Amino acid sequence: MPVVRVPDETGHTLTLLEVDGTYRATCSSVPDHENEVRSIPTWLARDDDVLICSYPKSGTHWLWEVTSMLIRNKAERIPGEKESAMLELIQQSRFDNLPSPRVLNTHVQYGHVPKDFLDRRCKILYMIRNPKDVSVSFFNHHAKLLDYEFTGPWETYLPRFLRGDVDGGSWFDYTLSWENFILQIPDYPILAIYYEDMKSNPFREIQRIATFLEVPCDVMFLERVTQLCDFNTMKTDKERLEDAADWRGGKSDMYRKGKVGDWKNWFTVGQNDLFDRVFAERMHNSKTNIRFSL
Catalytic residues: 107
Pairwise CA distance, residues 263 & 260, whole Å: 8
Distances (CA, A) of 13 to 6, 131, 133, 135, 157: 5, 21, 22, 17, 10
Q: Among positive and negative, which fits the CA dihedral 31, 35, 135, 182?
A: negative
**Enclosing H/E stretch for 61:** helix 60-72
Q: What is the 8-class DSSP label of residue 116?
A: H
Pairwise CA distance, residues 140 & 136, whole Å: 6
13-19/22-24 β-pairing? antiparallel
Scored b (16 or more CB within 10 A) or e, 23-36 reads: bbbbbeebeebbeb
Helices (H) and strands (E) in the chain, counts: 12, 7
Chain centroid, CA 14 distance in Å? 19
